[in-house]
Amino acid sequence: MMNGKRWLALLIAAGLFLISIGVQFATSLASTNFENVFGQQDELFNETVVESGNSGNKIAVLPLEGVIQDTGSGSLLNNSGYNHQNFLRMLEKAGEDKSIDGIILRVNTPGGGVVESAEIHDKIVEIQENTDKPVYVSMGNTAASGGYYVSAPADKIIANAATLTGSIGVIMESINYAELAEEYGIDFNTIKSGKYKDIMSGSRPMTEDEEAILQTMVDELYDEFVQVIVDGRGIEEATVRELGDGRVYTGKQALDNQLIDGLGTLDDTIAMMEEDNELGEAQVVQYETGFHFDQLLGMTAKSFFGSDMKLAGLRELIRESDAPRAMYLYSR
């Protein structure tokens, strides 16, 4: 049994632990805009003025950063990176806001999910069909694969000469650990309703029939990618297929192949939009993701359980990699 001194020591240790949590939480809170943290949850992004302007016109810049993947937002552990649903809301707001005269997507992404890329593409086309707002793209360091897919319908695409773009194509990957498992004497027991139910399983080699099935899916999605470029850029299908062998292009090479419309910076793109659409010296605003209470809790949790949370993230990555998924992704 524990004597009084041991109980006292235990209580002191527990108290210090709780105080430590409070200090960490308060530190995170102090470095955060209080209004944003406890703001209404439907205000998922802020509007920051980049250029004040004096013409009464307004241009919105929407940053598209990171891998285009819908990772969900329900978990406290998911507090960083690209937020797909939030970006779709940004597009929707920019399209519906009557004070916005033009939209510029600042694209800096290696691509991502097939479905997510298609959702962004369709939202851009919807804005173009329902409004007369020009939609331009300013490419950053990388705007490849899905990054180019979402850019294709834009009225004008501008990139830096050193931007990496292109990577037109589809990729589907999984980790096969069958030989490793055999070496260590690990057996897998799988009960399935049909012979293709565990297609692309990492625990056994892929059959020729399975490879043919998956290749048909990839080819179908590639055809869709090609059509998006044909429709958006007005390039002949044969030319798109010739360019779309998966390779990346520099901005200069992309311009030579008519994949983009010009070379320049974000500021150059803003100036072009103003000149092309008679927007004068427009006010330029940038939509930025707001910082919310669940993100704060996630950051605080990471500060305490850093290594354990990294391990949990690794486990999640392994689980995801074991499931077949087609991607418009520049994979190096």
* Enzyme catalytic residues: 145, 197
**How far is the C-alpha of 118 from the C-alpha of 111, rounded, in Å?**
11
CA atoms of 315 and 186, how far apart (whole Å): 18
Contact 158, 136 (CB under 8 A): yes
Whether the Cβ atoms of residue 244 and residue 259 lie closer than 8 Å to each other: no
Report the chain's C-alpha Rg in angstroms: 25
Count of beta carbons in the 10 Å neighbourhood of residue 101 = 24
Tokens 């834009």 label which residue? Answer: 154
Contact 98, 133 (CB under 8 A): no
Is residue 327 within 8 Å of 70, Cβ to Cβ?
Answer: no
To 10 degrees, what angle do helices 208-233 and 114-130 make? 20
- Chain-centroid distance, C-alpha 162: 21
> Beta-strand (E) ranges in the chain?
45-51, 58-65, 102-109, 111-113, 135-144, 156-159, 164-166, 171-172, 248-250, 262-263, 283-289, 326-329
d(CA 152, CA 328): 13
Q: Is residue 173 within 8 Å of residue 206, measured between CB atoms?
A: no
